[in-house]
Structure 1
């Protein structure tokens, strides 16, 4: 286990880098077309098999809270970008699918957003460093997901 001081310094550095990059990406994001949160929802649905996802699973993957996701999905439905249907395997559940119009909008925005990601993020690291960063971030997420519920670090 690493020393507490280096652990805190690494966390601080990771957090500040993430905030700085997200601010730069937000400044370039075409928010007049779609919000970052709407993009996140469309992104997650577009990656799912058949571009359909249970609302419950969508809630686990997006970066906003569950009540906000439900309201956002309702707005996207009103705009004709997604559809909601009852889950045939569980009548209590809802399946959210992206429409052709939603997928076309997502693709158009994604191309622009990927350019910004490359400029604001990818140009700072080489391919090996980016692969290493992916591995490190996956390990960090897995470590948190595998921690037992209620597991807390005790500070002395």
Structure 2
């Protein structure tokens, strides 16, 4: 296997650093506004977008943007806060649905008031619309759905 070029290695480093920096800045803004972390928002948004506002824990894991190392504990905390509720899965007592509550919908909306402008501040105002579209396309090549084996340079 061939070693990555210096250019490719620099792209990797900048990708990771940029992602961490932007997420950290947004996390800090949410915290300063008295909100929970992006992980909470991420779960709430996933549930809000789901049919009937519910998904299985496995579906949540597949949908969210941020790694959930212990989704079960996160859901326990969110349930204790009244943001989600667990519902038995029809016909299978071992499975369950997680459903967003009205309180969860309200928190997601209130968090977006901070989160949305932060995305604009840290991403949107640093790129022209065409550049943001190009960046999204380029990063989309790295997404799991684009997991085809590299056979050389694209283009």
TM-score by length of 1: 0.81
Distance 2:35 2:8 in 1: 40
Q: Rate the CA distance shift 1:145–1:95 in 2: closer, same or farther, 3 A.
A: farther
Shift of residue 50, structure 1, vs aligned partner: 2.1
- Is contact 2:140–2:146 with CA below 8 Å preserved after alignment? no
What stretches of structure 1 of length at least 5 have no aligned partner? 148-156
Distance 1:50 1:17 in 2: 35
Distance 2:119 2:4 in 1: 33
Shift of residue 30, structure 1, vs aligned partner: 3.8
Aligned partner of 1:78 in structure 2 is 80
Range that drifts further, 70-79 or 2-11: 2-11
Shift of residue 42, structure 1, vs aligned partner: 1.0
What secondary structure is seen at the aligned counterpart in 1 of 2:143? helix
Aligned partner of 1:140 in structure 2 is 142
Distance 1:135 1:114 in 2: 21
Aligned partner of 2:152 in structure 1 is none
Task: Write the mapping of 1:7-156 to structure 2, written as runs, cut at 5 A.
Answer: 7-30=8-31, 32-62=34-64, 63-66=66-69, 68-88=70-90, 90-142=92-144, 145=147
Distance 2:91 2:5 in 1: 47
Structure 1 residues 56-102: Cα deviation after superposition (integer angstroms, max 9, x where no partner): 11122332334x21011111111111011122254322111100111
Aligned partner of 2:153 in structure 1 is none
- Is contact 1:82–1:96 with CA below 8 Å preserved after alignment? yes
Q: Rate the CA distance shift 1:77–1:143 in 2: closer, same or farther, 3 A.
A: closer
Structure 1 outlier segments of 4+, above 3 Å: 142-147
What stretches of structure 2 of length at least 5 have no aligned partner? 150-155
| RMSD, matched Cα | 2.3
What secondary structure is seen at the aligned counterpart in 2 of 1:109? helix
- Is contact 1:56–1:93 with CA below 8 Å preserved after alignment? no
